Structure 1
Amino acid sequence: MLIDTHCHLDALEFDHDRAEMVQAALQAGVGIIVVPAVVRSNFAAVRELAARYPGCAMALGIHPLFVDQSQPQDLDALAGEITRNRDEVVAVGEIGLDFFIEHYDRERQEFYFTEQLKLAREYELPVLLHVRRSVDQVLKQVRRFKVRGIAHAFNGSLQQAQEFIKLGFKLGFGGAMTYDRALKIRHLARALPLEAIVLETDAPDIPPSWLGHRGRNQPDQLVRIAQVLAEIRHEDVESVMEKTTQNALDILPGLASLYTPPQVIL
């Protein structure tokens, strides 16, 4: 069974066929889908989706590109949601920093990021980190607050990856890795220890190469993404699937209740 550690199942792109898409993922062998919130207004939607669809797990957080829509009291709402749904929330996320867009309020991003790291530490939850053009700044804060989790859609340097690994993090790889010209990401996928890698789609975003840049990504694509990772590493695909699944379970222990081990026929 594969685990999609990052899928925005609540996105509008899935409104017309969400149930069919989840079923397709389950039939393909993707048994768990982690659904991260991005802003207070979609906390309820993520909670309801996790309750409705088998194998779906919720993470709650405020994304750095949604801080302009957020107010400090939203952090209290986040804490309340975690408290009320303590057994169902598997991570605080998607949180982090995004310095790709020029002039987007960095100070405001850093405020919401650090406050959510405090919540993750208080509730002893892992984090799902957004690290676009901000890896060193994110590393600085996770060292400070001593949390663990997943660096989602990782695209930093090998040295930065190793620093995350030293801190107990896993690194998320998905559709970007499938493009032949993505030399940096493919090098990382080959060079890093398999114990540090988890798989993700970020659906509906970051579609793999066979869907094209304008294609809609979805969690059933994770099987083929795993095959690409195995090819890049020159390893057996079954071993890659088994290990990345175990990595996800290790870093997101709240998924254990959703995991059904493969049956061994003697």
Structure 2
Amino acid sequence: MFIDSHCHLDFPEFKNRLPEVLANMKSAQVSHALCVSVDIPDFPNVLKLAQENVNLYASVGVHPDYEDTPEPTLEFLVETASKHPKIVAIGETGLDYYRMGDRSYESMNWQRDRFRTHIQAARRTKKPLIIHTRSASVDTIKIMKEEGADQIGGVMHCFTESYEVAKQAMELGFYISFSGIVTFKSAKDLQETCRQIPLDRMLIETDSPYLAPIPHRGKTNEPAWVSKVGEFVADLKGVSVETLAEQTSINFNQCFHIDGSL
């Protein structure tokens, strides 16, 4: 059985489709999925999904791309994550300089401050981090080290960086998660990085509704299709699909402190 370690089932693309999505997961041998929070206004919907479905989990956090949204305080993150057992992680958080354009480095201080707040909340609650990094790997690793992210660990989600960045993250106790991007024909460098990541440090995800893997590229992604990511990665790694599915599921449970009995 596969586990989708990162999806967004509260997004509009899935409105009124949840029964179908869950049925598709079952058919594709996907046992569980982690629904990831991106902002505070929509967080209640993420939590509701997890509370109402035994095979769904939730996180709490605000994505670094969301600038014009209520800022999460340390107190909010700690209190919320501590109150609800189905919340297994803090995030997604991190840094994203991709759309910075002509803005100054200092103009992105709000992202760095938000990232630090999330790491502090993770340490306080002892819940792992879901980290997003895009065009900002140097600062991402730097802040992880400065704030003690190695004391709690977590996952570098939808990883697209170099093996050197992955190595630094793994040294801090983080797992590396691969999405449908790894299946794209243009992703040769990422595929080589994937080959180098030890199987016991790897997760797989959809990031749905985005980034549908081959052969579904261009369509609305969904958790069932994490099986296609798993099949591709298994081939890259030269292991059986069953081995890949079992090990990444074990990794998921270890990363998010889940006993695996559900």
Q: Kindly report which structure 2 residues correspond to 1:65-144, keeping only aligned pairs within 5 A, or say none.
A: 65-71=65-71, 74-85=73-84, 87-103=85-101, 105-144=107-146
Q: Kindly report which structure 2 residues correspond to 1:186-201, keeping only aligned pairs within 5 A, or say none.
A: 186-201=191-206
1:200-245 Cα shifts (integer Å, max 9, x gaps): 0000011112112x31000101112111001111211111111111
1:5 counterpart SS class: strand
Give the alignment partner of residue 205 of structure 1, picking from 205, 210, 225.
210
Deviation for aligned residue 1:145 = 2.2
Q: Give 1:159's aligned residue.
A: 164
CA distance in 1, matches of 2:16, 2:126: 36
TM-score (norm 2): 0.92
Q: Give 2:59's aligned residue.
A: 59
CA distance in 1, matches of 2:18, 2:197: 34
State the one-letter code of the partner of 1:107.
N
1:51 counterpart SS class: helix
Instruction: Please identify, of 55-64 and 17-26, the stretch whose mean Cα deviation from structure 2 is larger.
Output: 17-26
CA distance in 2, matches of 1:151, 1:216: 23
Deviation for aligned residue 1:23 = 2.0
Identity %: 27
State the one-letter code of the partner of 1:88.
K
Q: Give 2:221's aligned residue.
A: 217
Q: CA, structure 1 residues 240+100, in 2 after alignment: closer, same or farther (shift >3 Å)?
A: same
State the one-letter code of the partner of 2:71.
Q
Whether the 8 Å CA contact 1:40–1:77 is kept in 2: the answer is: no
Q: CA, structure 1 residues 154+138, in 2 after alignment: closer, same or farther (shift >3 Å)?
A: same
Whether the 8 Å CA contact 2:195–2:236 is kept in 1: the answer is: yes
Q: Give 2:252's aligned residue.
A: 248
CA distance in 2, matches of 1:71, 1:223: 35
Number of equivalenced pairs: 255
**Which structure's residues are more often helix, by fraction?**
1
Whether the 8 Å CA contact 2:204–2:226 is kept in 1: the answer is: yes
TM-score (norm 1): 0.91
State the one-letter code of the partner of 1:80.
E
Deviation for aligned residue 1:84 = 2.0
1:158-178 Cα shifts (integer Å, max 9, x gaps): 111111111110001010011
CA distance in 1, matches of 2:225, 2:261: 19
Whether the 8 Å CA contact 2:51–2:86 is kept in 1: the answer is: no
1:88-112 Cα shifts (integer Å, max 9, x gaps): 2100011111010024741111111
CA distance in 2, matches of 1:242, 1:144: 34
CA distance in 1, matches of 2:26, 2:199: 24
1:181 counterpart SS class: coil
